[in-house]
Chains A and B, each alone.
Chain A
């Protein structure tokens, strides 16, 4: 069974949400989940000129140190993530690798002027976490609209897909 570390980074406001995520991931993935406190300074991934956190640098931090004891490591954060060439990313993962990161920042309905909705945010976080971790298991984007590996250009696209892998993707996972 794969050992998965879920690392909360700057999530004080949503710490309950992240705690709830761990058993859900363990149920839907071939993995045993565990909440692990960050062992690094996340500020090292901060880019002052953009006011955002560099997600690739965050992945590098996640791969370092105590994470060596885990097969997969997922960083969950409330800050906005970017990669240099793109304005933002919902998350990033190493294809067929060990590390993935997900940001809650643009998953929050209030980021689009809508009322706070914790249930919706929790649902989006689960889907994005499954999606990014799916990449670490070598899964590519899936054309099946209902599959969690279906790509999402807009945040609403995340709401359209389910929090489950389609038959083909499942077969590759398990």
Chain B
């Protein structure tokens, strides 16, 4: 037979009908289209087929001796709620087909079936099933990507942090994340959000330190058209965008006193008005704040409102600096090695013990962020498969002494590698940019063992 669909690879179609000719012809029809097919003459056989294999679509005859199609449909959905059931019915039983649709059938077709209709119906059913499973997969990926698994650390200090994140995420309490710059405060905020019931709503970050006060206000609260010079359109603020999810206020200690008053009111009433607006807007979000400042001192100096401090400091999570949990350095370094090697497509496998020693002795004023950057740079300038101490020359030893080894050569190697990357390894362009001829560049590539 001709006429049919473009087949998703090996999707499974099960045909349940008491008439042999229907089973036989439909099975042939679908097999020719590359589908995996199966058939059953009655309800018992159908249930058995469902145990034996996974099916995407079931074509089910409404009228069968014994258990009828409607009853069987219920049973099939009990076993696999995602199964797409298409009812086959005679003209006389459209009422029953409507009932089947109410019970969750995907669609129904009347016998004899128009080949065009069958093609489109099955294609639509399979597409819906594919989208549903893709949606589920993406949700799982989101959970994995933003979950606590991303926080690396086995030290007792980090275990305490993770334990805290886990328990606080189950509540709606306001959280204050504290820690030096680069310790991963935003990641902790994301992990709290990802483990909370609000995870399918957005987490909206606001870097309070990056904006002057007037801009921050409009960023948070939004504005109506004409609220101030240049406000040509109505704009939603971050508070509205975070509705249902989590508002992450980074560098909360830098907010000016006037905005602190407005923010406190919102946190208490969950209601605000846009700048230049009259209408109060209701919002529902959880607040996570972060700071690397000493808020208590700011309160003492009257630069941070005491009432706001108590409002945001309901639960406090302190992330220790990396130098206080050096046992996490190897784990983190290997984590970043794998991550960046994959991203850059460089065949790195390991960090040499001497290089690890450099990492362990370093003080990491920039914490985890600095470690991540150090590994990323090492992978750019170094030669796979092992990171060597020479690749970590950019790290100044804690005693402030100049890096050991051929410092000039290291700098030159790094610079040449960077220029080559920037020019996509076009030798002519890279040589021009470096102000040397092509032969010299080839010699340097050879000398430093640079590879694309």
Within 8 A of B (CB), among A91-116: 91-93, 95
Residues in chain B near residue A92, CB distance under 8 A = 1
Question: Cβ of A86 and Cβ of B118 under 8 Å apart?
Answer: yes
Q: Whole-angstrom distance from the CB of A101 to the nearest CB of chain B?
A: 10
Cα of A90 to Cα of B1 in the assembled complex, Å: 6
Indicate if the CB atoms of B33 and A141 lie closer than 8 Å. yes
Asked if A85 and B2 make an inter-chain contact with CB atoms under 8 angstroms apart, the answer reads: no
- Chain A nearest CB from B91 CB (Å) reads 12
Binary interface profile of A, 26-53, with partner B (CB < 8 Å = 1, else 0)?
0000000000000000000000001000
- Taken residue by residue from 242 to 264, chain B's Cβ proximity to chain A (1 for < 8 Å, 0 otherwise) reads as 00000000000000000000000
Could you tell me if A153 and B32 are in contact, using CB atoms closer than 8 angstroms?
A: no
Distance from A124 Cβ to chain B, minimum over Cβ atoms (Å): 11
Judged by a CB distance under 8 angstroms, whether B119 is at the interface is yes
What is the number of residues of chain A that contact chain B, defined by CB distance less than 8 Å?
28
Question: Given the known A-B contacts A86-B112, A141-B34, A153-B116, are A91 and B28 also in contact in the complex, defined by CB atoms under 8 Å?
Answer: no
Nearest opposing residue in chain A for B117, CB measure: A87
Residues in A with CB closer than 8 Å to B118 are 86
Contacts of B2 in A (CB 8 A): 89-91, 128, 131-132, 151-152, 158
Partner of B32, one of A55, A56, A87, A95: A95
Instruction: Please state if B112 and A85 are interface contacts (CB–CB under 8 Å).
Output: yes
In the assembled complex, B214 has its CB within 8 A of some CB on chain A: no
The yes or no answer to A171 lying at the interface (CB within 8 A) is: no
Contacts of B111 in A (CB 8 A): 85
The CA of A92 and the CA of B2, in the complex, are separated in Å by 7
- CB contact under 8 A between A151 and B33, given known A84-B19, A90-B1, A91-B2: yes
- Pick the residue among B3, B28, B113 that contacts A152 (CB under 8 A): B3
**Assembly CA distance A143 to B6 (angstroms):** 6
> In the complex, which of the residues A50, A128, A141 contacts B7, with contact meaning CB atoms closer than 8 Å?
A141
Question: Given B19, B25, B32, B113, which contacts A141 in the complex, CB threshold below 8 Å?
Answer: B32
Query: Cβ of A135 < 8 Å from any Cβ of B?
Result: yes
Instruction: Assess the A83–B31 pair: CB atoms within 8 A.
Output: no
| C-alpha gap A93/B31 in the complex (Å) | 12
B293 at the interface (CB under 8 A from A): no
A88 touches B115 (CB 8 A): yes
A-B contact pairs, 10 of them (CB 8 A): A83-B21, A89-B115, A90-B2, A135-B32, A140-B31, A141-B34, A151-B32, A151-B33, A152-B2, A158-B2
